[in-house]
Structure 1
Amino acid sequence: MRTTHKPLFIAFSSQKGGVGKSTFTALAASILHYRLGYNVAVFDADFPQHSLMKMKERDLNMIMENGVLKKLAYKQFTTINKKAYPIIQHRAEGVLEAAHDFCADSAVPIDAVFFDLPGTVNTPGILKALAGMHHIFTPITADRLVMESTLVFTQLLQDVIMKNGETSIETIHLFWNQVDGRESTPLYGVYIQVIGELGLSLMQSQVRSSTRFRKESEVGAKTVFRSTLMPADERLMKTCGLDLFMAEFLRIIQL
């Protein structure tokens, strides 16, 4: 258990786009901040997309346009008496120093800082930023290109960065995302065997494929899934296995 003045640094990181790292950053940050009572901050260092900055802007507009969500948001903020967590735009280079400065200056003690980092090791400052994380989570899908690049990337982190001693990394975990129940299970079995042979850690929970991951709330929506302003609806979490994923995630980070 950590003291509140030593926040956890967490990244959902991958070398392949489209596997869900920005989505999971928003989902986990919102559940921790709004539902579980932790104080969270997010650094959006995924230049030039800055997906989370844009997501927050869309979330604000959606709440203003949707009467049901506006009531939900008002009830939430009056109940928990907390502001939305900050999303700070930054480059990968220098983002660790910026995060430490932010936490030191924060009026409330920050429990966890999430980092949305670029998806290429060639980005200036990316390896230093990754070495400064306490926990790294990497979403994977049963796709050959995704798996090949992910396994090389994860081995780089584990064999080079973690073993040279100059790192804060405590754990690196792969996890299955976008799992389609109709896909042939032998494919997963082969990949799981390879992951085990490489000595990499794979989470037990699997997040099932869901169109909810690819969209924010719609104009007529009465529930929220992917949002920077409210936590995912608990019923929707259960339908795709996100509830089990978050339970395992919390056991790993031991916040």
Structure 2
Amino acid sequence: MKKDPIFIAFSTQKGGAGKTTLTVLTASFLHYVKGYNVVVVDCDYPQFSVTDMRERDLRNVERNPYLKKLAFEQFKKISKRAYPILESRPEDAIETVKCLLDTDTPPDFIFFDFPGTVNNHGVINTIATMDYIFCPIAADRVVMESSLTFAGLVNDTLVSTGQSNIKGLYLLWNMVDKREKTDLYDIYEKIAGEMGLTILKNFIPDSKRFRKEGPEDGDKALFRSTLFPPDKLLCRGSNIDALVEEILSLVKAKP
């Protein structure tokens, strides 16, 4: 029996909250490590951040013998090509993936990377078609208040009313500096609870590793890539593996 893909978006109306990085890391971990088939739809019009990242990744593999060898060994091990990245305006995203839904082997997951602003009907209408939305939050008043406004709006107008396909809306602590724990975490977790919003158990720490892309030369480990999973050593302490497992348990996806 053919399964429908699960539509997922890391989404918020605040730019710089880490949604694109989280999209790529999660998609790459699921595709290259966990064995799922993934597609990413880059709706971040007009800059198309994920598409740009894929182009950088391809250039670096072409120029760097270390990455070229890494790509060869990965393909030999998992026999999988890189996941497709499709460009689309937010309002056209569902039409863009229709060709994937009508195949005999549709992907397991389709991730949608939305722009940092959601103040138009096209974006909202597409968000309403998602199965699950994960909203990154950070212990910063501007980011937090913007993210809570977004999550509250989605919850009150789309999830609670049943006027969407959304099965789950979750907040996710991102860029957490464990050395600088403040009472803002407790305050905002209480506020989120009062708004009927759920925060994931696993958080993402603040670390420079999240900016480590494939090197143009040399054999330095990479973390954020559309062609490779996060390096195993760099993955330790990043909570990406734990986050992926929590997401899988929430969406009840089977390999």
TM over 0.5: yes
Aligned to 1:54: 52
Q: Secondary structure at the match of 2:191?
A: helix
Match of 1:180 in 2: 177
Whether the aligned pair in 2 keeps the contact of 1:69 and 1:223 (CA below 8 Å) is no
State the alpha-carbon separation in 2 of the partners of residues 221 and 161 from structure 1: 47
Q: Distance in 2 between matches of 1:74 and 1:55?
A: 20
Amino acid at match of 1:5: K
**Alignment partners' CA distance in 2, 1:235 and 1:188:** 29
Q: Which runs of 4+ in 1 moved over 4 A?
A: none
TM-score, L = length of structure 2: 0.93
* SS of structure 2 residue aligned to 1:146: helix
Which stretch of structure 1 is more off in the superposition, 128-137 or 181-190? 181-190
3-state SS, counterpart of residue 14 of structure 1: coil
Aligned counterparts of 2:5 and 2:21: Cα–Cα separation in 1: 21
Aligned-partner residue type, residue 52 of structure 1: V
Give me the whole-angstrom Cα distance separating, in 1, the residues matched to 2:63 and 2:237.
Answer: 27
The SS at the match of 1:64 is helix
Of 76-85 and 127-136, deviating more is: 76-85
Counterpart position of 1:126: 123
The aligned residue for residue 198 of structure 2 is 201
State how 1:37-186 maps to structure 2 within 5 Å.
37-105=35-103, 108-186=105-183
- Cα gap change, 1:17 to 1:212, in 2 (>3 Å): same
The aligned residue for residue 5 of structure 1 is: 3
State the alpha-carbon separation in 2 of the partners of residues 5 and 157 from structure 1.
26
Moved more, 202-211 or 239-248: 239-248
- Among all aligned residue pairs of Structure 1 and Structure 2, give the percentage whose two residues are the same amino acid: 46
Q: Which runs of 5+ in 2 are unaligned?
A: none
Question: What is the Cα deviation at residue 164 of structure 1?
Answer: 3.1
SS of the aligned residue for 2:237 comes to: helix
Question: Any idea what the Cα deviations from partners look like across 1:78-119, whole Å, max 9, x if unmatched?
Answer: 2211111110000011211222333214x6331110000122
- 1:145 is displaced (CA, Å) by 0.6
- Equivalent pairs counted in the alignment come to 252
Contact 1:39 1:108 in 2 (8 A): no
TM-score w.r.t. the length of structure 1 is 0.93
Stretches of structure 1 lacking an aligned partner (at least 5 in a row): none
Separation in 1, partners of 2:31, 2:239 = 20
Q: Distance in 2 between matches of 1:168 and 1:189?
A: 31
Mapped partners of 2:219, 2:18: distance in 1: 22
Report the secondary structure of 1:75's partner residue.
Answer: helix
My pick for the range that moved more, 170-179 or 115-124, is 115-124
RMSD: 1.5
